[in-house]
Structure 1
């Protein structure tokens, strides 16, 4: 009887290790999200805008957050940028979101986005973007202008995620 019990226990030794692996991965994701939120908070304090209205805390876990200055230079990219595009934050900082666009990106969609930016109004659009390795992906963008406490345009913030819906043609 003892031998059977010992064999049963020995067959399950990997379960706790797997559980710890998942737990460790989850803790790392939380740590990264917390670091991203801290950076966004620092930006909001520095430039005098209220990030709470943007629901960043809720969205940063599932979406990539990009913040640009009024000239569309990227000043912040959440850690999910690498998973979605292949680029690290340091590779995108100082560039514009045009770095993700190419020949297959709809010119009509880009004109509509440009118009919304000029009018300083929120927009939602799904466009074809390019990863660092040249592959295309559908990027669902939800972007808004951000104004400081004096009502002056401070930044643009975009919440982006890869649209994995099948192509319907």
Structure 2
């Protein structure tokens, strides 16, 4: 079944279809599109972890599929190197729009300086952190974003990336 899913993903991802043509399959078709994008994100994250020799292990499937979290990966200078496709639903930015930018792109006038200071200290000290922060969508509207971030070290103990799991909260 896994081989069928992989073959179907490769075939359908090359098409510009958003849903299947039968009305009764519309829900499945939309879900299939989301699954394909999530599968692509998980594959990219696993490749990124292999390429950078991460000592870090995570359940990317669980974060994306069960918890519906957005995953951002930055380099050591905090430039975004990967964002999952579901980020567009949270803040209106597509992944390719924010590659190479810093997560500050989501902050604005109402973002707490105290919270950003705590996050900055955790990053400088290379320790995990968790916070809720006021972020700004592409259209300028605000949302509360829960995030859990942590440094990623390679198998030699060298800092190579940071990862953040994010979700809009009330």
- With normalisation by structure 2, the TM-score equals 0.83
Q: CA deviation at 1:42?
A: 1.1
Give per-residue Cα distances to partners, 1:83-110, cap 9 Å, x unaligned. Answer: 1111111110000000000110000000
1:129 maps onto 2:135 in alignment: yes
Q: CA deviation at 1:55?
A: 1.9
Match of 1:111 in 2: 117
Q: CA deviation at 1:18?
A: 4.6
Match of 1:142 in 2: 148
Among 3, 22, 25, the residue aligned to 1:20: 25
1:83 maps onto 2:89 in alignment: yes
C-alpha separation between the residues in 2 aligned to 1:154 and 1:49?
8
Q: CA deviation at 1:116?
A: 0.3
Give per-residue Cα distances to partners, 1:1-33, cap 9 Å, x unaligned. Answer: xxxxxxxxxxxxxxxx55411111111111110
Q: SS in structure 1 opposite 2:46?
A: helix
Off by >3 Å, runs of 4+ in structure 1: none
C-alpha separation between the residues in 2 aligned to 1:116 and 1:91?
26
Q: CA deviation at 1:134?
A: 0.3
Q: SS in structure 2 opposite 1:84?
A: helix
Segments of 5+ residues of structure 2 without an aligned counterpart are 1-21
1:29 maps onto 2:34 in alignment: yes
C-alpha separation between the residues in 1 aligned to 2:144 and 2:49?
29
Q: SS in structure 1 opposite 2:139?
A: coil
C-alpha separation between the residues in 2 aligned to 1:48 and 1:106?
35
Q: CA deviation at 1:54?
A: 2.1
Q: CA deviation at 1:120?
A: 0.4
Match of 1:73 in 2: 79
Q: CA deviation at 1:60?
A: 1.8
Q: CA RMSD in A?
A: 1.1
Match of 1:47 in 2: 52
C-alpha separation between the residues in 2 aligned to 1:56 and 1:21?
26
Larger Rg over CA atoms: 1
- With normalisation by structure 1, the TM-score equals 0.84
Equivalent residues, number: 147
